[in-house]
Chains A and B, each alone.
Chain A
Amino acid sequence: MNDTQITEYLKKLKSIKLSNTAHTDMKRRLSEYADFHSTGEAVRVFDSKRSIERVPEGTLVTRLIGFKFTYMTAVILLVLMIGGGTSFAAQSALPGDFLYPVKVEINENVESAFAVSNKSEATLQAKLVEERLSEAEKLAVKGTLTNEASLELRNRIEAHYMSARSFGEAAEAEGELELSVNTIASLDGIFNSYATTLTEIDVKAGRNDTEEIVTDIRAFASLAGDGDATAATTMAADANTSNATMMQVDETGTTTDTDEGIHAKSQTNTEINISNDMIDTQVESETRLDLDLEI
Chain B
Amino acid sequence: MTTDSFHTKFLADFDAYGDAIFRFCLVKTGNKELSEDITQDTFMRYWRKLSLGEEMTNTRSFLYTIANHLVIDWYRKKKSDSLDAHIDNGFEPSDSTSTNAEIDTEYKMVLDTINKLEESDREVLLLRYVDGLGPAEIADILEEEANTISVRLNRATKRLQKHLHI
Distance between A258 CB and nearest chain B CB, rounded to angstroms: 33
A34 touches B10 (CB 8 A): yes
Over the window 14-28 of chain B, the binary record of Cβ atoms lying under 8 Å from chain A Cβ atoms (1 yes, 0 no) is 110011001100110
Distance between B135 CB and nearest chain A CB, rounded to angstroms: 13
Report the contact-size class of chain A (Cβ under 8 Å from the partner): 35 or more
A38 touches B51 (CB 8 A): yes
**CA of A226 to CA of B93, assembled, Å:** 21
Query: Which residue of the partner chain A has the closest CB to B33?
Result: A219
Chain B residues proximal to chain A, CB less than 8 Å = 3, 6-7, 10-11, 14-15, 18-19, 22-23, 26-27, 36-37, 39-40, 43-44, 47-48, 51-53, 73-74, 76-77, 93, 95-98, 100, 103-104, 106-107, 109-111, 114, 125-126, 129-130, 157, 160-161, 164, 166
Q: Which of A7, A10, A17, A31 contacts B22 (CB 8 A)?
A: A17
- Would you list 20 pairs from A and B whose C-beta atoms are within 8 A, ordered by A residue? A6-B160, A11-B129, A13-B27, A13-B110, A13-B114, A15-B103, A16-B19, A16-B26, A17-B98, A19-B97, A26-B36, A30-B10, A31-B7, A31-B11, A34-B6, A34-B51, A39-B53, A166-B48, A226-B77, A229-B77
Asked whether A194 is an interface residue with its Cβ less than 8 Å from the other chain, the reply is no
Known: A40-B51, A41-B3. A17 touches B10 (CB 8 A): no
A230 touches B107 (CB 8 A): no
Distance between A17 CB and nearest chain B CB, rounded to angstroms: 4
Known: A39-B3, A40-B52. A22 touches B36 (CB 8 A): yes
**CA of A226 to CA of B107, assembled, Å:** 30
A13 touches B107 (CB 8 A): yes
B43 touches A18 (CB 8 A): no
